[in-house]
Amino acid sequence: MASNILYVEDNPDNRMLIKRVLESRGYTLLFAADGLTGVRMAETEEVGLILVDINLLDIDGYEVTRRIRSSPKKPSLAHVPIIALTANALQGDDRKAIAAGCNAYMAKPIDINELWDCVGSFLPPPI
């Protein structure tokens, strides 16, 4: 299984934080700054896990997840774990992310230990 993680996030500060946190555990991070690029990268790169922000500028993370899950170009994406990382923390947002096809939901600000545990439950650290 690939240890690459694709992070679909439009905020460069969030990308840098997650990069530092997960690369310290040996993961390799790939980044997409918008949803459509994220879908294309998921279809062309070998990834073992996808992190997706819900509030993106072009298409939201729910639509990104639905497109990845139903990709005709790469049917194996139906089984790649997807974790929603979002500032949306209203009641029911977690269920909405799961209904779109995410395997897990984490509200920002991210707790580093919780992130390590959640990512590790789907994709064990390579080191």
Q: pLDDT for 50-104, tens place per residue? A: 999 999 999 999 999 999 999 999 999 999 999 999 886 767 788 999 999 999 9
What is the per-residue pLDDT for 87? 84
Global pTM? 0.95
Nearest CA-CA partner of 50 in 89, 13, 11, 101: 101
- CA 15 vs CA 8, 65, 91, 101, 122: distances in Å: 9, 18, 25, 22, 20
Whether the predicted pLDDT of 115 surpasses 90: yes
What is the per-residue pLDDT for 26? 93
Tracing tokens 């500028």 back to the chain, one arrives at 57
